[in-house]
Amino acid sequence: AQSVSQHNHHVILSEAASLELGCNYSYGGTVNLFWYVQYPGQHLQLLLKYFSGDPLVKGIKGFEAEFIKSKFSFNLRKPSVQWSDTAEYFCAVNVRTDSWGKLQFGAGTQVVVTP
Amino acid sequence: DAGVTQSPTHLIKTRGQQVTLRCSPKSGHDTVSWYQQALGQGPQFIFQYYEEEERQRGNFPDRFSGHQFPNYSSELNVNALLLGDSALYLCASSTSPSGRGPHTDTQYFGPGTRLTVL
């Protein structure tokens, strides 16, 4: 069965610092990859997604992610975080051959940005 | 454009009771998926409905059942509640999976229903 691993459960950093969140998945076939964000008191929102093409994907709010197929990774990055980036971040995968698109999520990374 | 809506927002039940949660998909979407998010964990897939039929199911017992209505809205029912059923229940909607060929659609999530079982 496929699985998704997020390396850090909690990250604390200062405003203007750079952020990188790791995500690895275990599945040998073709996958679609997603990063979702859950701000305090709000619902899960899509940050960015990768289906095919350029492995460097740009999302909303200055976030980007790079798909490295050989490493089964889809790491999320932001060059300079703001206090408003405090949230929980989830990596998710679905299998391209699964026509119904069931999402498999990682456990999430809680990011706290201090002023 | 209305997003995914869920009701109720919060619910408190006791062990052994039954609960029904409701979801209305985003405008233009006809597929609904349900997820359970326990505290400190990522969402876990429960099942997915399309054309009023359960199309795919995760590793959840038969106590979890659902329904989809002709207007694409959906219900999640949980019978014989256990303490471990306490969680945030999320509904996600998307456009038609074909059941054929690769799936490339995005799921949009509602705010969730927080269920507490005492």
A11-37 pLDDT tens trace: 999 999 999 999 999 987 788 899 999
pLDDT, tens digit only, all 118 positions of chain B? 569 999 999 999 999 999 999 999 999 899 999 999 999 899 999 999 988 999 889 999 999 999 999 999 999 999 999 999 999 999 999 887 655 555 567 889 999 999 999 9
pLDDT of residue A35: 97
Rounded to whole angstroms, how far apart are CA atoms B48 and B95?
Answer: 12
Which residues in chain B have their CB less than 8 angstroms from residue A32's CB? Answer: 103-104
Measured between CB atoms, which of A4, A42, A101 is closest to B107? A101
Instruction: Print burial letters for B51-89: b (CB count within 10 Å at least 16), e (below 16).
Output: eeeebbebebeeebbbebeeebbbbbebeebeeebbbbb
Cβ pair B56:A102 closer than 8 A: yes
Residue A8 confidence (pLDDT)? 87
pLDDT at residue A100 tops 80: no
pLDDT, average across residues A73-97: 93
The residue with greater pLDDT, A86 or B107, is: A86
State both tokens at B6.
Answer: 């869920």
- Chain A, 2 to 41: residues with Cβ < 8 Å from chain B are 4, 30, 32, 34, 36
pLDDT, position B111:
95
User: Can you tell me whether residue B83 is helix, strand or coil?
Assistant: helix
Distance, in Å, from the CA atom of A6 to the CA atom of A25, rounded to the nearest integer, reads 9
Q: Supply the pLDDT for residue B104.
A: 61
CA distance A76 to chain B (A): 17
pLDDT value at position B38? 94
Kindly determine whether residue B43 and residue A102, on different chains, have CB atoms separated by under 8 Å.
Answer: no
A46 near B CB under 8 A: yes
Q: State mean pLDDT over A60-89.
A: 96
Residue A28: what pLDDT?
73
Largest CA distance in chain A: 44
